[in-house]
Chains A and B, each alone.
Chain A
Amino acid sequence: MNDVIIHKGEKKHLIITHVADDSAQWRIRQEADSVLTVHLFCLEADAGTTGDVLLDIEQIGGHAETYIYGLGILTGKQRIGVRTHVKHSVPDGKSNQLLKFAVRDEAQGAFIGELIVAPHAQHTEAMQTNRNVLLSPTATMHTQPQLEIYADDVKCSHGATTGQIDESALFYMQQRGIAPEEARRLLLAAFFHDVLTTLNEPEVEDRLQRKIADRLG
């Protein structure tokens, strides 16, 4: 377990790319006015990899901000679980989570998003979004948003969906001569686009887009 305290007014950017063998376990406490941005990329190619990611985050000082952006491509027999536990213990905090997964073959993904707003954490703004696509009939994704909101003057929202690649879009692209594998790549690049743009670094984005294409190749 990595234990971190982000001190008053500090900004921290955490990029997690290695998730196999439970190596990504974080407990982070945020003091007042701190900003934490986490980027989680589950793109490791090892078929058969298993791993559990834990992001246990608590805002213990007011006006803290927490952003979690993540994407993953799971293939083969991979089993990856991501659990976020975001707790607003004090007023005026903000958090936003956006996590997207594409699951193929017999891979199994799980996302558990626990969002807790303590009784005194008024004026909290918290958002959680989880979108997944299953690329084969044997792929599975378990998604479990869990909101516990004990304060009344807050803005909280969450959404979780799991779907398939849009067959009509796929056929439309094929009708223009695009091979289905290429069409799928373009559709998945589009699917992940909003997560990648949160990096604000076009070069890294490009590199990740290529990595995503590789993972699907």
Chain B
Amino acid sequence: MLEIRNLHATIAGKEILKGINLHIGAGETHAIMGPNGAGKSTLSAVLAGNPAYTVTEGEVIFRGKNLLRMAPEVRAREGLFLSFQYPVEIPGVSMTNFMRAAVNAKREHEGKPALNAGEFLKLMRAKRALVELDNKLAGRSVNEGFSGGEKKRNEIFQMAMLEPCLSILDETDSGLDIDALRIVAEGVNKLHNETNATIVITHYQRLLDYIVPDYVHILADGQIVRTGGKELALELEQTGYAGLGKSE
């Protein structure tokens, strides 16, 4: 699914990723944890193709193709989805128009015809139910005036609409209340199957009780310093990053 080899990246001339290696197979769930500023969001931004970052070394193969050579929108249509740590508000652009453009761009890429209005609304309704997203939110401008938790729920709604192969969830749990966390996690689990994969970036073991990872990686100062099973997250909960002797 995804193969990251010796990935280095900079922003504003400052090196943030310092040689990331990561292999993600179909059907797998990986958790990435690590201290603030370690480079977790940078890694997701680089994978998604955010032009603010420069890759200086390394390669990324996504479903057999050179990911770093694709435009951001092509990466998305190929099935890469990023649930943003800070979803962007787009005043004046309705959720409906936004999602229609996204869904149909992907369908066109796959050689499928665009959905007609009826089919599209039916899809919206079905996916909204999956994450219990309020109809009122779906009727508003993209993320405009949404609460922190509503924005995160809206990210997972969009993920459900687009059915990606690889989902990167960057702190999707932050800002969610306890019920919302369960609903969102259940939504993610329902979407998970043997042909797709999920990366969850989180600071808290709690999310991993719901979305159980096959692997846990610790990212510190731009490198993956440890990899283990789900018990690594529990260990971390006990000792903190200092206990790992690897970081601040």
Contacts and interface: CB of A to CB of B under 8 A. Distances in A.
A190 B102 contact: no
B93 A187 contact: yes
A26 interface: no
B101 A187 contact: no
Q: Main secondary structure on chain A at its contact with chain B?
A: helix
B142 to A, nearest CB: 8
A73 to B, nearest CB: 16
A107 to B, nearest CB: 23
B97 A186 contact: yes
A216 B60 CA distance: 35
B90 A175 contact: no
Nearest to A182: B101
Nearest to B87: A172
Contacts of B50: 171
Given A177-B76, A180-B73, A171 B51 contact: yes
Contact of B98 (A168, A173, A191, A193): A173
B88 A176 contact: no
Nearest to A185: B101
A177 B102 contact: yes
A178 B162 CA distance: 12
B158 A176 contact: yes
Interface in B98-151: 98-99, 101-102, 105-106, 109, 141-142
Interface residues of A, number: 21
A65 B49 CA distance: 51
A176 B163 CA distance: 11
Given A171-B50, A171-B51, A171-B72, A178 B90 contact: no
A191 B73 contact: no
Which 9 residue pairs are nearest across A and B when measured between Cβ atoms?
A: A190-B92, A176-B102, A177-B76, A172-B88, A174-B72, A177-B105, A174-B73, A177-B77, A169-B90
A24 B156 CA distance: 51
Contact of B72 (A175, A182, A186): A175
25 contacts: A166-B88, A166-B90, A169-B88, A171-B50, A171-B51, A173-B90, A173-B101, A173-B102, A174-B49, A174-B71, A175-B48, A175-B75, A175-B81, A175-B82, A176-B76, A176-B105, A177-B73, A177-B105, A177-B106, A178-B101, A178-B102, A179-B73, A179-B105, A186-B101, A187-B93
